[in-house]
Amino acid sequence: MKERITITLDSELIKQIDKRIDGTIMKNRSQQIELLLTKSLGTYRPEKAVILVGGKGTRLRPLTYKTPKCMLEIQGKTLTEHLFDLLKKYGIRDIIMSVGYMKEKVKDYYGDGSKFGVNIEYVEEDEPLGTAGPLKLAKNMLHDSFLVTNGDELKNINIPRMFGLHKRKDTLGTIALTTVTDPSLYGVAKLSGSRILEFVEKPKPQEAPSNLINAGFYILEPKVIDMIPDGFSMLEQDIFPKLAKQGSLRGFPFAGQWFDIGNLERYEIAKKRWGGISLHDENE
């Protein structure tokens, strides 16, 4: 619930606030002031993140015959360490890793997270559970808004801005959306403002409703976990369409780098082009 208030500010402060209004995510002074206040009070981000690293990485064979996909290296760090960097940049250090394929190797390498500056707990998939199933295993650990990220992508997202949108719209789910040149290979978001109406799967280029695709990075509310069926289930097919139908799904377009490490060709591209996570640039 929001309340209207009147405040008096120095004109120079107002100029600085106005410079941060981008007309898309931040549309007015009230929204920007709210973001600045939540950041100063330490409530501008979720407290926990779930990283999904249970997949076999079959399209990355032979590299993944002996090495879990999440432990493949990009510029001297494993894929998961780059995700740690993103989360740590915004003060998120409590992480749940969902492990399956070669789970003992993953757990041995990352341990409790202390050597990476994070705190790691694990949920274990005895059989593949998709992108939604593991969240049911972690239900007792997730009591407030939380992040979920695929473990086979590199991404640079301004989490406070995304969280600000999520909270302002009082929604159950917010999906980070990245822009691609050819959307015909992906599920493409159809939007009304920030509201996601649906995802159109692999449309013809001339029929795509936008160039915005699911970037595999979400902010969800605990209520979403209650919607997940037992066993294998996918957020993309089983949960997000329901949220969209309810009007409870939002999209957050971002301009930062994004790489899908889904196959050998994309892995090689990411190794060359990934720019890493800057601790100082908050304009992604």
In order of 85, 120, 158, the CA distances from 277 in angstroms are: 6, 20, 11
Q: What is the pLDDT of residue 279?
A: 66
Q: Where do the structural domains in the chain lie, given as residue ranges?
A: 22-172+216-231+257-273
Mean pLDDT of the chain: 86
Alpha carbons 20 and 273: distance in angstroms, whole number: 28
Whether the predicted pLDDT of 26 surpasses 70: no
Alpha carbons 214 and 217: distance in angstroms, whole number: 8
Question: In this predicted model, what pLDDT tens digit does every residue of 128-157 receive, in sequence order?
Answer: 899 999 999 999 999 999 999 998 889 999
- Asked if 90 contacts 135 with a C-beta cutoff of 8 angstroms, the reply is no
In order of 15, 43, 113, 192, 271, the CA distances from 152 in angstroms are: 41, 28, 19, 29, 13
Question: In this predicted model, what pLDDT tens digit does every residue of 74-128 receive, in sequence order?
Answer: 888 999 999 999 999 888 999 999 998 888 999 999 999 999 999 999 999 988 8
The residues annotated as belonging to the active site are: 202
Pick the more confident residue, 30 or 109. 109
Whether the predicted pLDDT of 200 surpasses 60: yes
Question: In this predicted model, what pLDDT tens digit does every residue of 237-250 receive, in sequence order?
Answer: 899 999 999 999 99
Alpha carbons 218 and 177: distance in angstroms, whole number: 10
Q: What is the mean pLDDT of residues 192-198?
A: 91
**DSSP states of the chain:** ----------HHHHHHHHHT--SSSS-SHHHHHHHHHHHHTT-SS-SEEEEE-----GGGTTTTTTS-GGG-EETTEEHHHHHHHHHHHTT--EEEEEE-TTHHHHHHHHTTSGGGTSEEEEEE-SS--TTTHHHHHTGGG--S-EEEEETTEEE---HHHHHHHHHHTT-SEEEEEEE-S-GGGSEEEEEETTEEEEEEES--GGG-S-SEEEEEEEEE-GGGGGGPPSSS--IIIIIHHHHHHHT-EEEEE--S-EEE--SHHHHHHHHHH-----SS----
Phi then psi dihedrals of residue 234, to 5 deg: -120, 135
Pick the more confident residue, 172 or 43. 172
pTM of the model: 0.82
Q: State the pLDDT confidence band at 284, using cuts at 50, 70 and 90.
A: very low
Q: What is the pLDDT of residue 106?
A: 92
- Asked if 276 contacts 155 with a C-beta cutoff of 8 angstroms, the reply is no
Q: What is the mean pLDDT of residues 202-224?
A: 90
Q: State the pLDDT confidence band at 266, using cuts at 50, 70 and 90.
A: confident
Q: What is the pLDDT of residue 124?
A: 92
CATH fold of the domain at 22-172+216-231+257-273? Spore Coat Polysaccharide Biosynthesis Protein SpsA; Chain A (3.90.550)
Q: Quick one: what percent of the chain has pLDDT higher than 90?
A: 44
Pick the more confident residue, 65 or 36. 65
Q: What is the pLDDT of residue 22?
A: 61
Q: What is the pLDDT of residue 196?
A: 93
Q: State the pLDDT confidence band at 283, using cuts at 50, 70 and 90.
A: very low
